[in-house]
Amino acid sequence: MMQLKSAAFSHSGKIPSKHTCEGGNVSPALHWEGAPQGTRRFALIMEDPDAPAGIWCHWIVYDIPADARGLPEQVPPEKYLPDGAVQGRNSFRKTGYGGPCPPPRHGPHRYFFRLYALDSSLDLPPNAVRDKLLSAMEGHILGRAELMGICERGGDR
């Protein structure tokens, strides 16, 4: 069974400020294990289903090589990563990671990091959006792992 973890926070734990819009907006290091046999690539989607406008996508990475076992902290906002992985466009309309940034006084939001093991590369150009990635993955998902973190912002009362 595939597992996705981070040294920065535990499942259902608070995402440190460093990884949010109020901190350094630094992507957390992620690591995984237990990929199914036949895995050729991985894809990662980070999203907030509690956003007022609906699902808000914070990070998309795809065509991660099968031998990868994680992503380092502070992945640069480049279309192509050194290992050949490709980053998509998030809901902030930017390439790469956009940290949690829930509206002040809106209560806690859940941020889901979902890793997919795929049986093929996706042949998507850089800056693909969430819906394009989900469509391209249809019929190619061998396994899935999930890590969820919480973020809440205060504000003037």
pTM of the entire structure? 0.95
Asked whether 44 and 70 are in contact (CB, 8 A), the reply is no
Predicted pLDDT of residue 40? 98
Question: How many H-runs (helices) and E-runs (strands) does the chain carry?
Answer: 1, 9
Compute the average pLDDT of residues 132-155: 94
User: Does 155 or 12 have the greater pLDDT score?
Assistant: 12
pLDDT classification of 156: cutoffs 50, 70, 90: very low
* Whether pLDDT at 16 is above 80: yes
Residue whose pair of structure tokens reads 């192509």 in the numeric block: 80
Predicted pLDDT of residue 155? 56
* Whether pLDDT at 9 is above 90: yes
Predicted pLDDT of residue 157? 33
Pairing of strands 109-118, 86-87: unpaired
Predicted pLDDT of residue 97? 98
* Whether pLDDT at 28 is above 60: yes
Domains annotated for the chain, with CATH where assigned, are: 3-149 (3.90.280.10)
Residues paired with 23 in a beta bridge: none
60-113: per-residue pLDDT in tens?
999 999 999 999 999 999 999 999 999 999 999 999 999 999 988 888 999 999
pLDDT classification of 153: cutoffs 50, 70, 90: confident
Residues paired with 43 in a beta bridge: 116
Compute the average pLDDT of residues 8-13: 97
Asked whether 84 and 42 are in contact (CB, 8 A), the reply is no
Return all residues near 84 (Cβ < 8 A) that are at least 6 apart: 63, 65
